[in-house]
Structure 1
Amino acid sequence: MSFRNFPMVPRVIYGKGSSQQVEEIVEPIRQNGYPIIYFADHFFKDKSLVQHIPVQKNDKIIFIDTTEEPKTSDVDQIRDQLIEEFGKVSGIIGYGGGSVMDMTKAVSLMMNNEGSSANYQGWDLIQNEGVYHAGIPTLSGTGAEVSRTCVLTGPEKKLGLNSDFTPFNQVILDPNLTQGAPKEQVFFTGMDCYIHSIESLNGTFLNAFSRSYGEKALELCKKIFLEKSEWDEESDEDLMMASWHGGMSIAYSQVGVAHALSYGLSYVLGIKHGVGNCIAFDQIAEFYPEGVKDFKKMVDKFEVEIPKNICQNLSDEQMNKMVAVALSLTPLWENALGKNWHQQITEKKIKELYEKM
């Protein structure tokens, strides 16, 4: 029997104010005058966070537009721009939510792998290690700071660059950076964590390793989104830890039905990942009855609106593409339903699920 030998993030700093140590951390990785590139969510363009980014010499800040999910074309464009301007870079440091984390990982990989990032969407297709990359999350929930994938929308599909070279070399977890984020954004990224914990814990790939992390992530999500009467500083810290544990849980297992359906929604309709997960999860009580029941309570408590009827006026072509994208995600369906998942999940069944949304 062969066991997967997964990499983990080798270096992690946690603590309020720990992001102040970025300069000290990145200084040793500078090579031959090549710059450090900082990615930051465009949300921070005129905010104080940017003033604390320790730019030196020829270092550069690139603001990442997170209005839409990251695309392979975005990754290729930034990679080409950096090579043209600098030849090489010493490393890439990302400040932001899941989209910026994924862009940071993807551009790092593509600095040392030829061609379009679309050629590497899938499992273990990356051939060469990327440049040094570090993640500094400013939103919690996606688990992108710890995962071995970076999810991109390509010309043919929405799928990650899943590889042993993808995880960050360094992660800095500073709860101060997540304070004050918009309530809905916090909810939808938090639900990403909750949903993939439910999918991991109810999956056929589950083992003691993934269960231990998944149970902790789920416990923290329930504490934050169900049990506590109001949001406070401890909630920011707990959600940051839930995100980390949730990401670790799916590293050795997999996500499931909601994520597969969400990928289709995102590819065809451009719906953001966390929102898409919520739209899908809201309609799949047949697969995760207890999880969906608690999810509906969380939605009511936080008074968040889950979009409805988004698939009502789709063309046949759009619906067929959505179904094809969802159906192509074999590992997700196998985790959810086992090796014989094809007996339950057909094009007709997926279409029926989308029609409920």
Structure 2
Amino acid sequence: MHKNFKGIEKTVFGRGSFSQLGEIIAPHRSENNGYMVFIVDNYFKGKELEGRLPVQPEDTVYFIDVDPHEPTTEQIDILRDEILASKGLPSGIIGIGGGAIMDIAKCVSLMVTNEGSSTLYQGLNLIKKPGIYHVGVPTISGTGAEVSMTAVLTGPEKKLGLKCEWTVFNQVVLDPELIATVPRDWWFYVGMDTYIHCIESENGQFNNAYSHAYAEQSMKLCRDIYLGENSGQTAENDDKLMVASLMGGLSLTYSEVGICHAISYGLSKILGMRHCYSNCIAFNHLADYYPEGVAEFKQMVAQHNITLPQGLSKDWTDEQITAMAHVSYKLDHMWNHAVGYDWQEKVTIADIEAIFRRL
């Protein structure tokens, strides 16, 4: 069965395009109960961006702190219930922030129309009803969450996304000016998330000409940004990174991610490690699976004087390592892509535990 995914309905790109947000959402204000919900990274509370939000008196704004924890099913359920109890079904959800805020906005847009806990919908095509209009405004680029059909949540049993065609944003606003304030280390980690998306997309059985075209261009941009003659955190490179993130997200959508993401999910679920950072921690030790990609990644780490910790596993218990391995092992789709449909004949829990012990 070939993948047949819905894309973003509308995209605006360019410096200063955030100023168009008000007019973009205006035609949708009359839908449902006639108010918008803005979900904004708490980093911007009290800052200049807060004053630029196109908020009307009837709207609701939630400033959400996503540091250090990634979105959880409990968080989504509580937020959904609070929104519906306050003013009923909104006209739309606008997410403004990094990948975690993008995923929260996508999840809330689905859960306001679907009953029960979000734990019931962790997986592919489990959502029963379409969500409501939702807009993504990334203020950090690299995760691909602005284009992905997956909204990743950590639940009591697993870390897994709500994944269906209704997850995809109706509109994204890509304004490179918004990512200028990203701290240098996180500018690196999230950019590497894009790079790793492409390396994993390319190195597996689901790679195809369509996913390859996006990965090829995204990796070219990443190399310009992180290894090129004018590498670094500049305005021009912010433009490139925003496009690379989008293309990297499309590449993985039409192919798949692999072993690094499987290991990263274990780190996030059991240790609460942030996704982009955990990807870097894991990828640094996966040269036997992705030799060329890891070698180039290490060049980028060296060029930008990024320090990745070594020997982390010495502080982990055997129980933690086993638990992380089981989280990773359950991600069949990632191992299928990277190793093959017979991956369970080639990879054991003990093998995955050994990967964690390298870190």
Aligned match of 1:139: 140
Aligned match of 2:225: 224
Amino acid at match of 1:264: G
Aligned equivalents of 1:330, 1:148: Cα separation in 2 = 18
Amino acid at match of 1:27: A
Aligned equivalents of 2:243, 2:340: Cα separation in 1 = 29
Measured after TM superposition, the shift of residue 3 of structure 1 is 2.2
Equivalent residue in structure 2 for 1:312, among 310, 314, 323: 314
Aligned match of 1:28: 27
* Greater Cα offset, 222-231 or 203-212: 222-231
Measured after TM superposition, the shift of residue 343 of structure 1 is 2.7
Amino acid at match of 1:221: C
Match of 1:62, SS state, is: strand
Aligned match of 2:242: 240
Aligned match of 1:276: 278
Equivalent residue in structure 2 for 1:249, among 248, 251, 266: 251
Measured after TM superposition, the shift of residue 261 of structure 1 is 0.2
Normalised to the residue count of structure 1, the TM-score between the two structures is 0.98
Aligned equivalents of 1:313, 1:232: Cα separation in 2 = 37
Aligned equivalents of 1:161, 1:307: Cα separation in 2 = 32
CA offsets 1:179-232 (integer angstroms, 9 cap, x no match): 121001111110100001000011110111100001111111111111134432
Aligned match of 1:162: 163
Runs of 4+ in 1 over 2 A off after TM superposition: 31-34, 228-231, 307-311, 313-317
Measured after TM superposition, the shift of residue 297 of structure 1 is 0.8
* Greater Cα offset, 205-214 or 224-233: 224-233
Amino acid at match of 2:352: I
Measured after TM superposition, the shift of residue 33 of structure 1 is 4.8
Aligned match of 1:51: 51
Instruction: Work out whether 1:102 is the aligned partner of 2:95.
Output: no
Instruction: Work out whether 1:9 is the aligned partner of 2:11.
Output: no
Aligned match of 1:18: 17
Match of 1:312, SS state, is: helix
Match of 1:181, SS state, is: coil
Amino acid at match of 2:53: I
Q: Counterparts in 2 of 1:186-197, with a 5 A limit?
A: 186-197=187-198
Aligned match of 1:75: 76
Aligned match of 2:328: 326
Aligned match of 1:202: 203
Amino acid at match of 1:332: M
Q: Counterparts in 2 of 1:332-343, with a 5 A limit?
A: 332-343=334-345
Aligned equivalents of 2:122, 2:10: Cα separation in 1 = 26
Contact 1:200 1:249 in 2 (8 A): yes
* Greater Cα offset, 24-33 or 239-248: 24-33
Aligned match of 2:90: 89
Aligned equivalents of 1:24, 1:211: Cα separation in 2 = 36
Measured after TM superposition, the shift of residue 314 of structure 1 is 2.2
Structure 1 runs not aligned, ≥5 long: none
Contact 2:32 2:90 in 1 (8 A): no
Aligned equivalents of 2:97, 2:14: Cα separation in 1 = 17
Match of 1:165, SS state, is: helix
Measured after TM superposition, the shift of residue 239 of structure 1 is 0.3
Tell me the number of residue pairs that the alignment of Structure 1 and Structure 2 aligns.
356
* Greater Cα offset, 260-269 or 221-230: 221-230
Amino acid at match of 1:134: V
Equivalent residue in structure 2 for 1:265, among 257, 267, 280: 267
Instruction: Work out whether 1:348 is the aligned partner of 2:330.
Output: no
Measured after TM superposition, the shift of residue 309 of structure 1 is 2.4
Measured after TM superposition, the shift of residue 100 of structure 1 is 0.3
> Residues 56 and 88 (structure 1 numbering): CA distance in 2 closer, same or farther, change over 3 Å?
same
CA offsets 1:235-282 (integer angstroms, 9 cap, x no match): 000000000000010111100010000000000000000010001100
Measured after TM superposition, the shift of residue 149 of structure 1 is 0.2
Normalised to the residue count of structure 2, the TM-score between the two structures is 0.97
Contact 1:34 1:86 in 2 (8 A): no
Match of 1:95, SS state, is: strand
Contact 1:37 1:93 in 2 (8 A): yes
CA offsets 1:108-165 (integer angstroms, 9 cap, x no match): 1100111111111111111111111000000000000000000110000111111111
- State the identity as a percent: 46
Aligned equivalents of 1:47, 1:353: Cα separation in 2 = 42
Aligned match of 1:60: 60
Contact 2:321 2:357 in 1 (8 A): no
Q: Counterparts in 2 of 1:35-46, with a 5 A limit?
A: 35-46=35-46
Match of 2:137, SS state, is: strand
Aligned equivalents of 1:230, 1:187: Cα separation in 2 = 9
> Residues 106 and 33 (structure 1 numbering): CA distance in 2 closer, same or farther, change over 3 Å?
closer
Structure 2 runs not aligned, ≥5 long: none
Measured after TM superposition, the shift of residue 311 of structure 1 is 2.3
> Residues 281 and 32 (structure 1 numbering): CA distance in 2 closer, same or farther, change over 3 Å?
closer
Aligned equivalents of 2:223, 2:34: Cα separation in 1 = 45
Contact 2:11 2:173 in 1 (8 A): yes
* Greater Cα offset, 167-176 or 340-349: 340-349
Measured after TM superposition, the shift of residue 32 of structure 1 is 5.5
